[in-house]
Structure 1
């Protein structure tokens, strides 16, 4: 009985290749000489047919699709009814006229039948078997072909059907002759058809892939432009596993044929390990006593026709025999198949690319390697790590040659899909950056764009990857070196951000800002002061443009502000007028933003230094570090101050910290900026400007302009009302009704003197933090109840600064958080504090207790600190 391992999966590397080629050439010549004849007689063959075509004509009923019928001119041809075999069945074009349709159909039937018969004969000849469908051939054909032919299970099944006397085959029988379908959970494998050996494959095919996969990936490559893996499951690169192993020799003699029979095969279980050069068994004994090198493998394919019997086998053809690997499931079988094919071909590509000298040959093989890596269904980091290392070696070996730039351009262009798939290594980033520096206008920018974006979106720390940062910097410089460099840089920022409202990559903005700042600092670090402009500045102005372009996106504006908050720029950068103009636009964008986390970036950051740098100091009109005109500085400084006063910094502590910059307030106020005039009025009202001389300077500045006089008049009116409010008299205790609002609190304070008011209850009212500006006018207040109100952090901070006599404070069920509760540490006289059902954390409460030693009673139930 023929063994399943030797059905169709044959070794085409025998010594009879020449005979097959000669026979195929003669058959092609005979096919060209063949002219279809009239088929009026169903039993007589037309004249002028070759031997194979006559046999195929005799079997026309067997090859038909319906029982008892011949080839009907109007019916479907057998080739269209049966399953088309890739690289076996040939597609024949229809005739141009209606008169030739009958002859074309007949020719198609005969040619396909003859083609299949030639394939069966070639397969049997390779197996060196003594018979080939002898029940259906003539006696002289038996003698001519019996010397170099064998028979397969296809021939057996065909002979059995003919011997049974069936005039035609049913649809099920015809489908049984076709290759078995691929597994439901695995992509098609080459075990289902007569695939050529690796040595006979053309360069257009991907080594180690089945023809079906090649066809599918080719179609996808045409439609999408880049090679993609075929549809189907994805696998991780196999490294080790337990498989059953069987080894048998190729059937050369009768004894070997008997020993290789299926009932005499010996199966062993081995824990296999896939190493870089060979396959080894962790228990080297028996069939795998010695390692199995990949270089000795002629073919590797799956035997998917055994899947129905739950025998998921993989065949490895060696020079003197074959090795069968059996897995527990089809997924494991296909995983090992793709893993072995990948390691085998990577070794071949490495040896070929490192030893070849001709440039065009190296580029062609590099293209094949890239396509192979991109179309493999393996998804593992090492699948692309090894090809990237081969690419790095290619670029490094000719690094000192004079034509290295041209060579690097060609290699980078060919390897563009591979560079877009995985992050480049540090050495490869350095080589690509060198290419951008040496030939900025000729560098393959489209091929370098994906790795640059991948660095920006996935890098975590540039301190550990300086070459990656260098690649991004040199790539941006290469973009700006073109004639439309400004538009290219803007487009690069746009693509990096993405088309959504927010960037999906949280690391992109910090990395891009860090690259821009590092480039500016590196160029201006040793610049002379005062600054002298030169032509070299054109190379780094694009990085200042990038900071300005990033501020056009709301989500990136906050990131840019956070990066720039500590003023991480050397004086040489700030003194350059062209860079200072772009930085001024960035600061103006931060000042215009209404979000606190954005415009708060112009204030000093929290640091251990007593006087940390800030943009309010760098852009101060009196002693500016930023090289802008005085009028622009005054407007910019006033805008930054106004955004802070209108949001979160309208507090006494902020004005006290800015008291040393009083000359800047005065200078900007004289330019009639509303924010500076408002800040000067608050300094007088809250007694921040201490000393009579200082107060006179502030009053003179307010009265120096028409707008300032209006602000000063409003201040005087408020002071008169405040004196009348703080006069002795009025109730000592007061409680507002439930429906009271901020307007009611303001109206209450305007009724008359409340200098004796010590206890105020606003519990369960609708007041908010806005009424804190009115409550701070009651300096004698000792008890304040804000239970179940909407009093927030900003109101608590204002109360803590202006009501130092407060002893009892009830903030139960209010939306205050750690930000406002930390400000209560300034109330040194506080005795009782209720923080029930607030957003208090344990850390904030521990810090508050240490700063309030006189606190006697507190309620922290239903909080995190409870």
Structure 2
């Protein structure tokens, strides 16, 4: 049956339109004036009449219907006496149909009979409930030109559910059509307010009830770029009630990001965006599924940073997310904030990373690292220094005069100098720098490489050099990264400072520190950030907080996630790319680790293999933790090389605290030997 080709209708139509019916909502805006503070820029809506059924005091809620089974009857408006007889209630018939409520029409799964053609929402003139005495039970009336469609449900609840669902579909279709083709700005704003009010007051419960208006408005903003900034703010204020309990869709997030960038000092950012961002941080479960939510949060924080005393505003915002109590009640806030910080920090180096002239690829870094490990001649890669290697001076020829294959390290003389084991282990390594520019950090790195190569040859044998180096090893030995000069633009530098400050603030909260340490344990930063002195200096505060925390779940995250990978402990130790304090943070990390369950022979062996040089230098400066480490290495026989043992003993005897602890060690060893000898002498002989 064609529902759209009717005529004007006769007197019989009045039979279905009497004063006892529930009146439907008029197609007029439902919202009047906005708040008094904004009435100077908001347009008022005309008077409206709310549906009596819609505003009933019962407070019933219904699920939005998308399809269902129902009885259908179509009544044509009669114009003659014969047609009145043919359309009387005694001759009416009902057809069962499975109806689907699409975005634009009401269709049947079996397009026959009354529902041979779909009923467009635009052709529905009126939507009401039948309630007179002799009317069929549980019916919804849909008036169209030339007739009426009656839908009969099984009970009153299903009838009301069909009524509100059809009403919602019809109205949302109208608003989508009007706002997709805007004519005047005052009409657009008035319709947006009416759409928001309809969504807020609807008795239907469904995710699309609030999301559909947001998508309509986001499409409007995306397709119309000629709105002024004031128009944008009016729209944001109008849709603010919908955002209290809903995430903005991706297109709307992009619009919000643009507003934050262009007008960071707008009051809309503080008054409207703040609760939206707070809800995102509290309830979002995965930024990977909605990256624009993360980008909007990032731009909002940067807008706060642009205000007067921006850093203080950012601090207050982070504090408001944690709450005044000692335990944050929202478990998703910290992971979401960390995700925003990591993405923002990566964006600071993104331009540098994408530049092939500045940033070496990871494959090239690894190739350069493997060349150093295998002692092969350097390849003419972009990674290596542009200047040719400097020939060795005459004073150093005696250190590399033997061109034969590498032999086991020779025994050191009785008074070893710190520079002797440095060059004796590298007979065939070409010198790339003059001896005059070698500094103490390079000496420490070379000493650690010597220890690592000796231990690797002792443990792994000929196949030990085939392992794939990790990222921090590449940062240590790659000349390109060691000499990398990173200069960020002014805006990127401000972004880096803002989000590094947030990471510092997160580490100040005791309840957040364990989870923060766990999230940062894999070092989730680009290699360019680790080679940037400003970033590692800012992040040092966070690592120091981890090193000062007595909880094992916190300070254990200073170590690597698994064997074969390096962690913050290696990165901030002497010789690491982030160490700038001559080992003070390294000593703090060793102290807290040795104070817990890491006072083991395995941990001491790792220090002896990788960080013996820094431990000795710090012990020479009187660091008590390092003195204790060296004494434990001697007590547990960690060091097998006699010459190295003599160097450790000489180091201990160079300071008062070291001499005292070494004498105590000797006393314990002497007493242990005497006790052992005494127990052996009193052992009865066996017959």
Bin the TM-score by the shorter chain: 0.5 to 0.7
8 Å contact kept, 2:31–2:194: no
1:682/1:279 Cα in 2 relative to 1: closer, same or farther (>3 Å)?
A: same
CA contact (8 A) 1:272 1:281 kept: yes
Shift of 1:202: 8.2
- Aligned equivalents of 2:51, 2:561: Cα separation in 1: 62
What's the CA shift for 1:243? 0.7
Structure 2 partner of 1:798 = none
CA contact (8 A) 2:282 2:333 kept: yes
Q: 1:690 aligns with which of 629, 640, 658?
A: 640
Pick the aligned partner of 1:541 from 488, 492, 497: 497
- Which of 267, 272, 285 is the equivalent residue of 2:112? 285
Hey, what does 2:562 align to over in structure 1?
606
Q: 1:368 aligns with which of 181, 190, 194?
A: 194
1:688-713 deviation line (CA, Å, top 9, x unaligned): 13322322333333333333344333
Q: Once structures 1 and 2 are overlaid, which stretch shifts more, 574-583 or 545-554?
A: 574-583
Change (3 A) 1:698 1:450: same
| Structure 1: 5+ residue stretches without partners | 1-13, 17-123, 130-149, 155-190, 217-230, 731-751, 757-866
With 373-382 and 565-574 compared, the bigger mean Cα shift is at 565-574
Q: Mark the CA change 1:708 to 1:755 in structure 2 (over 3 Å): closer, same or farther.
A: farther
Query: How far off its partner does 1:199 sit?
Result: 6.1
Please name the residue that 2:37 is paired with. none
1:431 counterpart residue number: 255
Query: Is the 2:631–2:665 contact (alpha carbons within 8 Å) kept by the matching residues of 1?
Result: yes
Residues 408-423 of structure 1 aligned to structure 2 (within 5 Å)? 408-423=232-247
Distance 1:198 1:395, change over 3 A: closer
Q: 1:658 aligns with which of 596, 607, 611?
A: 607
Distance in 2 between the 1:375 and 1:552 partners? 44
Match of 2:577 in 1: 625
2:557 and 2:335 mapped to 1: Cα distance? 15
**Counterpart for residue 638 of structure 1:** 587
User: Contact 2:76–2:146 (CA<8 Å) still a contact in 1?
Assistant: yes
Secondary structure at 2:494 match in 1: helix
Answer whether contact 2:29 2:195 (CA < 8 A) is retained: no
For structure 2, the 5+ residue unaligned runs are 1-7, 33-44, 353-357, 359-482
1:554 aligned to 2:546? no
User: 1:580 offset after TM fit, Å?
Assistant: 3.9
2:315 is aligned with 1:490:
yes
- The residue aligned with 2:341 is 516
Alpha-carbon distance in structure 1 between the residues aligned to 2:119 and 2:330: 45
Match of 2:38 in 1: none
Partner of 1:551: helix, strand, or coil? helix
SS of 1:328's partner is coil
Q: Is the 8 A contact 2:26 2:50 kept in 1?
A: no
Q: What SS class does the counterpart of residue 100 from structure 2 fall into? A: strand
Contact 1:128 1:252 in 2 (8 A): no
Given that 2:618 and 2:626 are in contact with CA atoms closer than 8 Å, whether structure 1 keeps it comes out as yes
Change over 3 Å in CA distance of 1:606–1:321 after alignment to 2: same
Native 8 Å contact 1:306 1:313 kept in 2: no
**Could you say which residue in structure 2 is the equivalent of 1:448?**
273
Aligned partner of 1:828 in structure 2 is: none
CA distance in 1, matches of 2:501, 2:239: 31
Partner of 1:396: 222
Tell which deviates more after alignment, 309-318 or 481-490. Answer: 309-318
Aligned positions of 1:243-392 closer than 5 A: 243-249=70-76, 262-303=89-130, 311-392=137-218
More deviation, 314-323/348-357: 314-323
Pairwise CA distance, 1:278: 0.9
1:470 corresponds to 2:295: yes
Alpha-carbon shift at residue 396 of structure 1 (Å): 1.3
Question: How many residue pairs end up in the alignment?
Answer: 533
TM-score with structure 1 length normalisation?
0.55
Higher relative contact order (CA 8 A, sep 6+): 2
Bigger Rg, which one: 1
Q: Structure 1 residues 434, 555: closer, same or farther in 2, change over 3 A?
A: same
How is 1:74-223 mapped onto 2 (pairs within 5 angstroms)?
127=14, 191-192=21-22, 194=23, 197-198=26-27, 210-211=51-52, 213=54
User: Quick one: distance in 2 between partners of 1:378 and 1:206?
Assistant: 24
Q: What is the alpha-carbon distance in structure 2 between the residues aligned to residue 658 and residue 246 of structure 1?
A: 87
Deviation at 1:502, TM superposition (A): 4.6
User: How large is the RMSD of aligned CA atoms in angstroms?
Assistant: 3.9
Q: 1:603 to 1:338 in 2, by over 3 A?
A: same
